[in-house]
Amino acid sequence: MAQSILKIALDVPLDRLFDYLGNGQPVQVGQRVLVPFGNRNHIGIVMGITDSSEISIGKLKPVIQVFSEETPLDAEMLSLIKFSADYYQYPYGQALLSTLPARLRQVAPAVSRKQYLYQLTDAGRTADIEQIPKKQKVLRSVLSTLQAAYQLTEAELDAISGTARKAAKALVDMGYASSKQVPLLQRVMTLTPAAEPQLNAEQMEAVQQITAEPDVFKAWLLYGITGSGKTEVYIRLLQRVLQHAGAQVLVLVPEINLTPQLEARFRTRLPGFPLVSLHSNLSESERLQHWQLAQSAAAKIVIGTRLSVFTPLPDLKLIIIDEEHDSSYKQQDSMRYHARDVAMVRAKRLNIPVVLGSATPALETWYNATVNPNKASQYGLLRLKERAVTAAQLPQIDCIDTTKVNLQHGLTPQLIAALRLRLERKEQSLLFINRRGYSPVLLCSACHWIAPCSRCSSRLVVHLAQRKLRCHHCGHEQRIPHQCPSCGDADLHPTGHGTQRLEQTLAQLLPTARIARVDRDSISRKNALIEILDRVHSQEIDILVGTQMLAKGHDFPNLTLVGVIDTDSALHSPDFRASERLFAQLMQVAGRAGRADKAGQVIIQTQFPDHALFNALRTQDYESYANVLLHEREQMQFPPYVFTALLRAEANDYNLVQQFLHFAFVQARILNDQVLVYDPVRPQMERLKGMERGYLLMQAKQRPALHHLLKQLVTQMRAHKLAAKVRWAIDVNPLEF
């Protein structure tokens, strides 16, 4: 009998599969295996089984172990990751293994507690309980419960009767049920189901339209102002979709911080459907357990951050992407995928709807839903223009010209007065400043020396409490000097404001206020953010000071004032997406004010109060501003009117980067004349973490032309003599230039 040869994907930077002998072990495509590679043993995934190889049989090594007790990855998942690896120009084996939980990338077998899950068959669905003798009460009870619930775990059977498991096995023998072994679903305490709020007409229309064609791919842009009840629409969609036997739903959120709040609402409102979350705050064993529950279809709702888009879900019927505009959905290293775009591909392949929710949609999404004639049939636009709480009104937005008032420690008199008023009323305030630390600059007043980072082209940030200067890009730290290293003057002073300095200023101005700071420094401990948010909801905090992690998704009923301290730097950014990001950020943070029955106010401190961005913000008119930006993009030939890819390269010596980029530049121009290739340039941050950097931008009017070029160019770059000396990567559809 011919020896079977396995085609195996490995986590190595080579874009190919490797042949191994099956060694007579039973194996399936998608199975995890252990194989020798070089001087080490590696975990791999079987991608194919054949009886021939380009390498002679005598030179092939046999697999060491097949993890046959594990459920193999399904064809849909393998195909999606293959598409993503090809599209984003990344080695398939590395892409595939990176989507697995860490425990499945390790040599030791994954251990997870198991249970049996009993599911109703077609015969069981039509079975007449009256045909079962009345004395077999437990058997009748299990069948009727199964007909109502479709599936039962062993724990749920135990709740029916001590002999219910035996009855379930009898139903399997009768053909009324099937059983399979799945990971043990942890019992989670659920709250008493909350009363369902009444949907307004816009919300009802959205739910009806999205669920009208459940087995057809369509991307629905759910464009709703902040506080318009998008989450309630999600819950109603889940209720409708999950009532169909076996269905699963994937809900993507941009950041871990939003997961606990959304998870709590879903558990409260949908207590009958097993739910798991997937994000980086889970332990390795928790992540594995949750991932296996999703893969086995025991979990019906999966809430997760961007990597969750690659979670195996055999019965997936709906994908929801909350805050779809958020840049956190874009992976910035390894395979530089965009979770929103991958989700769209996955939904199209499965012929299921995908919902993109946002108050400030990404311009690419807005273009596809309103302008792009090629995609008009696949996109639907649903507007939510009213706040879900009837009494809740959009906040009043005031822009204070900081050039015409005297600032007190960086705060305008109007903002200080508004903070005092909220304290008197026992209402809460939020001050938004997107700079952590005490001060962004340490300045010498004599020679104007500014403390630089030795490893990056950036300034060191003052962290006064720790008496440290810290780089927020590479993590480099050093003590604050006593005198200027340049001229010796001792008059060094922090310039500008960060979250820590703002917190200190507020404590001096408002000594009775209870203040909490939320930034990456203050919530590094696990569950720290959840504890702070709980204190906000229980009225133990008067003023929140924080960065953008406070701007999204959170619902604080008693918060009526939002102050925005400094946004002007974004107006001068060379990045063409800067104004779009700033508008989205300010709309999000403004949306935290006045979400209940109390009027909200937003005060923005700026030197440019008449800027078009602030005018649009005052009227909460995203649509007009988005259309203006799209017109500018069309004139300038920026995305979404063109397709771009960025070759990023870095090395210890910039000469190596220069040579490598020049080679790529020359080859790209030779290979395809339909792609515009710009001269290599240095980015604004020329040096990062000790590495000298350079970029090469490629741009095309047609996506296929760009990808045809990239495929050829990447092959040539991998073969180049400098490829091992220069760290390089292709970024398709880059968000940051």
Residues 6+ positions from 666 with CB-CB distance below 8 Å: none
Q: 150 with 246: CB under 8 angstroms? A: yes
Q: Could you give the CA distance from residue 234 to residue 199 in angstroms, rounded to a whole number?
A: 12
Q: Could you give the CA distance from residue 593 to residue 387 in angstroms, rounded to a whole number?
A: 12
Query: At residue 229, does pLDDT exceed 50?
Result: yes
Q: Report which secondary-structure segment, H or E, holds 394.
A: none
- Confidence bin at 392 (pLDDT 50/70/90): low
Q: Which token pair is 103?
A: 């425990």
Residues 562 and 413 in one domain: yes
The interaxial angle of helices 137-149 and 164-174, nearest 10 deg, is: 70
Q: Is residue 717 part of a domain?
A: yes
- Confidence bin at 548 (pLDDT 50/70/90): confident
How many beta carbons lie within 10 A of that of residue 636, not counting itself? 10
Range with top average pLDDT, 5-14, 107-116, 158-167: 5-14
Taking the alpha carbons at both ends of the chain, their separation in whole angstroms is: 57
Q: Which token pair is 446?
A: 């004599």
Q: What is the pLDDT of residues 118-141, one digit of tens each?
A: 888 888 888 888 888 888 889 989
- Confidence bin at 316 (pLDDT 50/70/90): very high
Q: Is residue 366 part of a domain?
A: yes
Tokens 């020359």 belong to residue: 666
Average confidence (pLDDT) over 361-385: 86
Specify which residues 441 forms β-bridges with.
495
Q: 702 with 674: CB under 8 angstroms? A: yes
Residues 418 and 523 in one domain: yes
Query: At residue 187, does pLDDT exceed 50?
Result: no
Residues 211 and 314 in one domain: yes
The residue from 632, 653, 683 where one domain ends is: 632
Residues 6+ positions from 623 with CB-CB distance below 8 Å: none
Q: Where on the phi/psi map is residue 361: left (φ > 0), alpha (ψ -120 to 50), or beta?
A: beta
CATH number at residue 40: 3.40.1440.60
State what percent of residues in the chain have pLDDT above 70: 94
Q: Is residue 451 part of a domain?
A: no
Query: At residue 445, does pLDDT exceed 50?
Result: yes
Q: 672 with 709: CB under 8 angstroms? A: yes
pLDDT for 668:
95
Q: Could you give the CA distance from residue 535 to residue 145 in angstroms, rounded to a whole number?
A: 41
Residues 149 and 277 in one domain: no
Residues 238 and 277 in one domain: yes
User: Which carries the bigger pLDDT value, residue 260 or residue 711?
Assistant: 711
Q: Is residue 196 part of a domain?
A: no
pLDDT for 611:
87
Average confidence (pLDDT) over 679-698: 94
- The parent domain of residue 101 ranges over 5-74+89-105
pLDDT for 264:
82
pLDDT for 111:
60
Lowest-confidence segment of 39-48, 96-105, 224-233 by average pLDDT: 224-233
Lowest-confidence segment of 420-424, 523-527, 630-634, 646-650 by average pLDDT: 523-527
Average confidence (pLDDT) over 685-700: 95
Q: Could you give the CA distance from residue 236 to residue 199 in angstroms, rounded to a whole number?
A: 10
Output the CA angle 234-591-554, nearest 5 degrees. Answer: 55
pLDDT for 191:
44
Residues 527 and 676 in one domain: no
Query: At residue 1, does pLDDT exceed 50?
Result: no
DSSP character at residue 383: E
pLDDT for 190:
42
Average pLDDT over all residues of the chain:
88
The residue from 632, 652, 681 where one domain ends is: 632
CA separation, residue 593 to residues 567, 580, 696, 702 (Å)? 18, 21, 43, 43
Lowest-confidence segment of 51-65, 145-159, 505-519 by average pLDDT: 145-159
Residues 262 and 147 in one domain: no
User: Which carries the bigger pLDDT value, residue 628 or residue 528?
Assistant: 628
Q: Is residue 462 part of a domain?
A: no
Residues 125 and 227 in one domain: no
Tokens 């590395």 belong to residue: 94
Average confidence (pLDDT) over 452-477: 89
Q: Indicate the SS3 state at residue 397.
A: strand
- Confidence bin at 211 (pLDDT 50/70/90): very high
Q: Could you give the CA distance from residue 600 to residue 557 in angstroms, rounded to a whole number?
A: 10
pLDDT for 408:
85
pLDDT for 19:
94
Q: Could you give the CA distance from residue 549 to residue 529 in angstroms, rounded to a whole number?
A: 10
Q: 357 with 236: CB under 8 angstroms? A: no
Let me know if 163 is exposed, middle or buried by CB neighbors in 10 A (0-12, 13-18, 19+): middle
What's the number of domains the chain is made of?
5
Q: Indicate the SS3 state at residue 354.
A: strand
pLDDT for 497:
81
Let me know if 345 is exposed, middle or buried by CB neighbors in 10 A (0-12, 13-18, 19+): middle
Query: At residue 502, does pLDDT exceed 60?
Result: yes
Q: Which token pair is 290?
A: 């949750």
Query: At residue 496, does pLDDT exceed 70?
Result: yes
Query: At residue 597, does pLDDT exceed 70?
Result: no
Q: What is the pLDDT of residues 369-380, one digit of tens each?
A: 998 766 666 899
User: Which carries the bigger pLDDT value, residue 534 or residue 381?
Assistant: 381
Residues 255 and 274 in one domain: yes
pLDDT for 294:
95
pLDDT for 188:
44
CA separation, residue 149 to residues 143, 145, 273, 396, 445 (Å)? 10, 6, 10, 48, 73
CA nearest to 184, candidates 276, 78, 261: 276
Residues 548 and 424 in one domain: yes
Q: Is residue 541 part of a domain?
A: yes
State what percent of residues in the chain have pLDDT above 90: 52
Q: Which token pair is 294?
A: 């999703």
- Confidence bin at 385 (pLDDT 50/70/90): confident
Average confidence (pLDDT) over 611-616: 88
Query: At residue 635, does pLDDT exceed 80?
Result: yes
Pairing of strands 177-183, 114-120: antiparallel
- Confidence bin at 102 (pLDDT 50/70/90): very high
Average confidence (pLDDT) over 293-319: 95
Range with top average pLDDT, 131-145, 272-286, 341-355, 441-455: 341-355
CA nearest to 157, candidates 112, 114, 113, 115: 115
The residue from 351, 384, 417 where one domain ends is: 384
CA nearest to 658, candidates 709, 708, 722, 705: 722
Average confidence (pLDDT) over 518-527: 72
Question: Exposure pattern of 252-289 as b/e (b: 16+ CB <10 Å)?
Answer: bbbbbbbbbbbbebbbebbeebbbbbbbebbeeebbbb
Q: Is residue 707 part of a domain?
A: yes
User: Which carries the bigger pLDDT value, residue 390 or residue 40?
Assistant: 40
Kindly report the backbone phi and psi dihedral angles of residue 221, in degrees, each rounded to the nearest multiple of 5, phi listed first: -85, 110
Q: Indicate the SS3 state at residue 647.
A: strand
CATH number at residue 351: 3.40.50.300
Query: At residue 390, does pLDDT exceed 70?
Result: no
Residues 210 and 310 in one domain: yes
Kindly report the backbone phi and psi dihedral angles of residue 510, in degrees, each rounded to the nearest multiple of 5, phi listed first: -130, 75
Instruction: Look up the pTM and report it.
Output: 0.85
pLDDT for 500:
86
The alpha-helical segments, DSSP class H, found in 609-702 are: 612-618, 622-636, 654-671
Q: What is the pLDDT of residues 264-282, one digit of tens each?
A: 888 888 887 889 999 888 8
Output the CA angle 468-472-474, nearest 5 degrees. Answer: 100
Residues 681 and 599 in one domain: no
Q: Is residue 339 part of a domain?
A: yes
